[in-house]
Amino acid sequence: MSPLLFVEQSLNGLQFGVMLFMMAAGMTLMLGIMNLVNLAYGSLYMLGAYFAVTIQWWSGSFLLAAAGSLLATAAVGVLMEMSTFRHLYVRSYLDQVLCTIGLNMFLNELVRVIWGSRPLNMKLPSALAGTVALLPGLSYPILRLAIIAVGVVIAAALYALIAHTKVGIHIRAGASNRPMAAVMGINIKALFTFIFALGAALAGLAGIMAGPLLSVGINMGDSILVLTLVVIVIGGIGSVRGALIAAILVGFIDTWARMLLPSALGDTGIYLLMAGVLYLKPRGLFPETT
C-alpha cells in the first residue's frame, strides 16, 4: 500500500468519525442525562439536510442555508421535546422505543409528502468545492478538511461548555443526581429542553455536512442512527469524551475494513470492535458522564 493512499484513507476515516461524533455527542447526553432512548434521532439528521438544501434553493447561499438549518432543526428538537419526549422520561424503555420508532416513521413519511421521494442535491460554494494539495501527489477535498475542522471546534466547544460553564455544572449535576439537582434549584425541565435542542442542532449539523457528500433522501437517518448507537455503546453512555474516541475508532475501522476486506465482510469490523469492548469493559470505554 502506498503512503499516499494510507494518508488519504486515514483522513477519510477521520472525517467519517467526526460526523459520527456530532451525532453521538447529542444522543449520548440524552441517554446519560435524560435517560431517554430516542430512535427518532436520525430523523433530525435527515431534517437538517433537507432544511439546508431548501434554504439554499431559496437564498442561493450555503452559509445562510447552514445557519438557517441549524436554527430550524433546534426548533424542531424543542417542539419534539415539549410535545412528546417530556411525557416519556418517566416511562419504560419499551414505551420510549415504541414511541420513537413511530415518530421516526411519521417524520420519514412527512418528508416524503413535503419534498417528494426523489433524492436532492446540495451545491457547494466555490470555496469548498475544490481540492488542496496536502502532499506531493495527494490532493484532498476541501469540504472533507472543513468537516474535520468543524468537528474539532465542536469537540472543543462541548468540552468548554460541560467543564467550564454554569450550564455544564447543571448538566453534570443532573446526570449525577437529578432529584438532588432539582432540590438545589436547577430547572430540570429547562435543562432537558436545552440538551434536546443542543442534540438536535448537532444532528442537524451532521446532516448539513453530509448533504454535499451524499444525496439528501428519505430514510438517510436510519443507517447513521445504527452507527451512532454503536459509537455510544463503545464510548460509554453519557460520556462525550467516550463518544469522541469511539467515533474516531469507528470511522477508521469502517473506512479501512471496507477497503481491505471483501464487500460481504466490510461491515463487520465495527461490530467486532463493539463486541471486544463490551467483553472487556461492559459499560464502555468511559462510562461516566463527561
pLDDT at 31: 82
| Half-sphere CA count of 175, side-chain side, radius 13 A | 22
Which sequence spans correspond to the domains of the chain? 3-280
Q: Output b/e per residue, 73-100; b: 16+ Cβ within 10 A.
A: bbebbeebbeeebbebeeeeeeebeebb
- The mean pLDDT values, 10 residues at a time, for the chain of 290 residues are 79 91 87 83 93 92 92 94 87 89 93 90 82 83 90 90 82 71 77 89 92 85 89 87 91 84 70 89 76
pLDDT at 1: 61
pLDDT at 205: 93
Q: pTM of the prediction?
A: 0.89
Q: What type of residue is 191? A: L
pLDDT at 201: 93
* Assigned CATH topology for domain 3-280: ABC transporter involved in vitamin B12 uptake, BtuC (1.10.3470)
- Cα(274)–Cα(128) distance, rounded to whole angstroms? 34
- Asked if 77 and 197 count as a contact pair (C-beta separation under 8 A), the reply is yes
pLDDT at 44: 94
Q: What type of residue is 172? A: R
Tell how far CA 196 is from the center of its chain. 13
- Cα(159)–Cα(25) distance, rounded to whole angstroms? 11
Of 242, 241, 240, 248, nearest in space to 270 by CA: 248
Maximum C-alpha span of the chain: 62
pLDDT at 86: 86
